[in-house]
Structure 1
Amino acid sequence: MSTTSGPTTSRRERLRTQATQEIKTIALRLMSEGGPGAISLRAIAREMGMTAGALYSYFPTRDDLLSALIEDVYTSLVETVEAARDARPTADRAGRLLAWAEAFRDWSLANPEGFRLIYGDPVPGYQPPPGGAAPQAEHRACTGLVGFVADAWRHADAPPPTGDDDDWSDFPPALAAGVREAFPDLPPGAVALALRLWGRMHGLVALEVHGHLLAQTRHPDKLYRAEMLDVVRSLGLA
């Protein structure tokens, strides 16, 4: 008995992992074809030749599936941009920011369904779990962006300007606590500046992912690069 239970369990786990990944892949495709509301456990079960009851053993509710998708997608994005940043020397502060930004755009264009899932319209009726669907990945992304502002604050010839009326109470307590722990010397205005930085990265990419930019320019990559170089200059990192 004991000589077969290990391999049998391992095979069962592999099959379950494969089925789970197939469910997620189909869900993202359904969303790309019909929008966020098109994700349906019953539709996925039909496509896989499973009963709805069998599918519920993988994801009890549609919201459980969506939360798993969001966590996977957000983690993939964060790991990609962090790897691009960390491939550049620590002293190359402008290069690290540009590498993050370019990796963000490249990932988004290669994964438009994932981009729409985490940055597009909310899925109708979706209730995320307490703390959000991908709290660790979101925290890492925010900390990474604040890190660029921290570099500018510490190493630029002059600290970048921030709003005089910014206060820690402007931000969710968990975000404020995480930033203050990682960067205890930064003022709250640095967080607001990081959010503005994120908005500039996100804006042009969102237009491109949704197909609105190619009608205006043949080279959205050049437009984005120029915007990111302007971000670098505005932070005093050039």
Structure 2
Amino acid sequence: MIRQKQLNVLLREALVQKIASGEWRAGQLIPNEVDLAQTYQLSQGTVRKALEWMEHAQLVIRKQGRGTFVLDRAGVDMTERYVRVRTAFGQVPEADIEVLHTAVAEATPDEHAALRLKPGAFVRRITRVYSIEGAPFAWATASLPVALFNLTDGEVNSLVTLPKIASRCGVLLGEGEERLRQAAADAQVASALRCKAGTILLASEVLTLTVNGTPAEWRRSFRKLPDGYYYSVPIGVAATAD
């Protein structure tokens, strides 16, 4: 039934789609390894590898003696998976986040390209500043497809982060790509981060996808990291051989 790509990769894609489509809902017990192996005509070892990957991705949770369940992400803090800045002690900083502006508008050509939108699509734009003990260290503007995230301004102001927004809208976040470079702060960024225009900062562009590969957010940001803070990026890949 499944034969071309590495089998456990194709299987996990099929199982993830069941969660993304709502066929398997949060908290639901999913079929066991034996049943899945029979359904997809694969070995239990292949099924086990797919489920292990899904557990690592925080899509399912295994409960000893009870089975494997779809993880209810509403009760899980996903921030660490999508924030790479760390304090000197290796922790995600507890930043104060202020929404400076949010609005819904027709997507620009750049937003169309980044988010792979249909003609005439609308996005919600959110501009935020992140501070620690009153000192701003990051400015970011994000574009989210309205088709995925139909929120009011009040909801955006209360939810603040992408994982919380995704949880409210029933969207399962998956992988993403972040591109880093150095760039000079323009007047708007300099004002928000209390530095001189032209100051060289760490610039970041992030595209976050849903678990089934649909673009969920395109975010552009500038950072001036506090002393002792660093940027943490996992490297290497998990084995996927059958």
Same fold (TM over 0.5): no
Q: TM-score, normalised by structure 1?
A: 0.29
Structure with the larger strand share? 2
Q: TM-score, normalised by structure 2?
A: 0.29
